[in-house]
Structure 1
Amino acid sequence: MGTPVDFGFKTYNYYGAYLKKKYEGKRVFKIIVDGGFTCPNRDGSKGYGGCAYCNVDSFTPELSRKGPTIREQIEKGMERAIKGYAAEKFIIYFQPNTNTYAPVHYLKMMYDEALSIAPENVVGLSVGTRPDCIDAEKVALLESYRERGLDVDLEMGMESIYNETLSKINRGCTHEELEVALNLVRTSPLDVCVHTIFGFPWETKEMMLRYVHEINRFPQIKFVKLHHLHIVEGSIMGVQYKRDPFHVFSLEEYTNFLAEFIPLLRPDIVIQRLFGISDYDLLIAPNWGLKKAEIQTYIDKELERQGVVQGAAYQSLVHS
């Protein structure tokens, strides 16, 4: 006899169910596009070396890239998704680096090119960026794609709510800058997603649970991506970890943390991810020794076993 999780039912508001309902049962997949962007925290505008948890070697200058064109990336990505997963519709996802870090006319050229490929099968555009690389003109550009009938996700890195942490990880961006960006899209039709990282060694569990207060207080936040800290080769934290190892989440610890976090989360927010995955060739810690699907199954079953329900503690949080 299977449990609800075995039959695809989860007690949190997860992205797969959201997509299935929104697109009337069609199989929708994100196609990742590398537009060759850089980052103000790498090119000297705000700093060098990038965020301390990032793999510097994976971010090479545009001129040294020998990757496929945008068209080739999308066509091959669609082909793989159709053959491997019977995909029917697609969201074009500009993911690597800071995908609004360019003049608006250049961004429009990039987005237009990507969306011109198999437009009859593309339902959305998703753009990953930093909160300090968003302004009214760029918001207006993204909103113009909504007017074409596309769903548009604006994904911004919150990472931590603490400026001390953001400084320690060389983020080059403050929490107040995130607040400014969120207020800029307060009445926008864009679907806003924020990304968090849990497990910085100087942050306690109580500190990390307070992230939920910040997420809940912005009604414009529709999606979240919850990640645990990865220590990877080529990163500043990778060097630090090798010199003086510090505690990182075990799978059991991280799942138990999620079991406390999710009941506090506003029930209308859609969880796009519960954890992140790093290339095992680059991963230093934590190595949980499982494939992505196995991690997802473990977390889902454990959350179900513990009776976790998204938003179950939200009302008491609101009235406390």
Structure 2
Amino acid sequence: MSIKTLAYGEKNYNYYSAYLREKYHGKRVYKVIVDGGFTCPNRDGSKGYGGCTYCNTDSFTPASRNLDSIREQVLHGMENATQNYKAEKFIIYFQPNSNTYAPVEELKLMYDEALKINSENIVGLSVGTRPDCLDAKIIELLESYKNRGLEVDIELGIESIYNETLQNLNRGCTHEDFISAMKLLENSSLDVCVHTILGLPGETREMIVKYANEINKFEKINFVKFHHLHIVKGSIMGVKYKREPFPLFTLEEYTDILCEILPKLRPDIVIQRLFALSDVDMLIAPKWGLKKSQIQNYIDAELERRNILQGSEYRGEMSV
């Protein structure tokens, strides 16, 4: 397999920005993050309290969350993206917490409010949620936006593929919940993105590399986000880490893991993210001391230097 077999971009993996450029004919497309004020079933008591041990939503929520309405958040996000990134088209991204965790009628009101603003330049809707916060009615609602001509994806936070890890994280859902969600989405027109955290306590290198094979099993998965474990202030894990630190990836170690995972990952999957950064004021560890662009350049250069190619070791049938 040569790099030319990859569909999007000139990198050694299918690059999300290149995917967007091709899909939208060279237009600059930017995600506008919206906080709908949702919570999670393991925060409000329906499944548990305290949330996932690694989580503090302030570590990944933009300043626009402090604005009063969804409309203000969208307008602020669009203005910022246009001025700073020369964005021309927008994807509305409901990100913080579980953005399908409400009655369908309430969800529709929020999604509609966000999508009606500057509708000419909104091309998509992305909704982040948990596998156990999805049902047929919610899928039908999201599909209705696709029928309007928008691209719609559901982003499922699977985090780990191991139930013991999920239990230790106070996740409140199991890997079987993820499998059930994928069955619900099997015949859906929605795109599916999965989000994983690499380097969770108790997971060995061998266990982490198996994430690729598990993701490959589901033909409906179009996108993936890989994320190294962050220890952030305000999280349960942050308190535990300060009391008794445990090993975290260095940039070099994390890149090594990616170099093992990517060749095993289906070559048709588009990678939306290879890593993520928490706000520096929120981050306890690991502190790599580099800007986002520097980390991206380091990983890309290492993939190139080692001749690591997404899908080069994949031996299954390609999804269509």
* Conserved? CA contact 2:59–2:278, under 8 Å: no
**Alignment-derived partner of residue 129 in structure 1:** 129
Counterpart residue identity of residue 285, structure 2: A
Where does structure 2 lack aligned partners over 5 or more consecutive residues? none
**Alignment-derived partner of residue 240 in structure 1:** 240
Q: Secondary structure at the match of 1:84?
A: helix
Q: Secondary structure at the match of 1:47?
A: coil
* Conserved? CA contact 1:264–1:317, under 8 Å: no
Offset at residue 201 of structure 1 (A): 2.6
Q: Secondary structure at the match of 1:315?
A: coil
Q: Distance in 2 between matches of 1:57 and 1:186?
A: 33
**Alignment-derived partner of residue 108 in structure 2:** 108
Counterpart residue identity of residue 175, structure 2: H
**Alignment-derived partner of residue 315 in structure 2:** 315
Q: Distance in 1 between matches of 2:300 and 2:315?
A: 23
Structure 1 pair 56/22, CA: closer, same or farther in 2 (3 Å)? Answer: closer
Where does structure 1 lack aligned partners over 5 or more consecutive residues? none
Q: Distance in 1 between matches of 2:267 and 2:11?
A: 13
**Alignment-derived partner of residue 145 in structure 1:** 145
**Alignment-derived partner of residue 29 in structure 1:** 30
**Alignment-derived partner of residue 17 in structure 2:** 16
**Alignment-derived partner of residue 304 in structure 2:** 304
Q: Distance in 1 between matches of 2:88 and 2:282?
A: 33
* Conserved? CA contact 2:60–2:278, under 8 Å: no
Q: Distance in 2 between matches of 1:249 and 1:171?
A: 22
Q: TM-score, normalised by structure 1?
A: 0.93
**Alignment-derived partner of residue 42 in structure 1:** 43
Q: Distance in 2 between matches of 1:103 and 1:129?
A: 14
Counterpart residue identity of residue 40, structure 1: P
Offset at residue 66 of structure 1 (A): 5.0
Does residue 1:293 correspond to 2:274, yes or no?
no
Counterpart residue identity of residue 275, structure 1: F
Structure 1 pair 29/285, CA: closer, same or farther in 2 (3 Å)? Answer: same
Please list, as runs of the form range in 1=range in 2, the aligned pairs for 1:163-174 lying within 5 A after superposition. Answer: 163-174=163-174
Deviation sequence 1:146-203 (CA, Å, 0-9, x none): 1000000100011000000000000000000000001100111101000000001311
Q: Distance in 2 between matches of 1:44 and 1:220?
A: 31
Counterpart residue identity of residue 268, structure 1: D
Offset at residue 306 of structure 1 (A): 0.7
- Count of residue pairs brought into register by the alignment: 308
Q: Distance in 1 between matches of 2:111 and 2:147?
A: 14
Q: Secondary structure at the match of 1:194?
A: strand
Q: Distance in 2 between matches of 1:157 and 1:81?
A: 25
Q: Distance in 2 between matches of 1:83 and 1:59?
A: 21
Q: Distance in 2 between matches of 1:176 and 1:255?
A: 29
Q: Distance in 1 between matches of 2:142 and 2:267?
A: 26
> Pairwise CA RMSD of aligned residues?
1.8
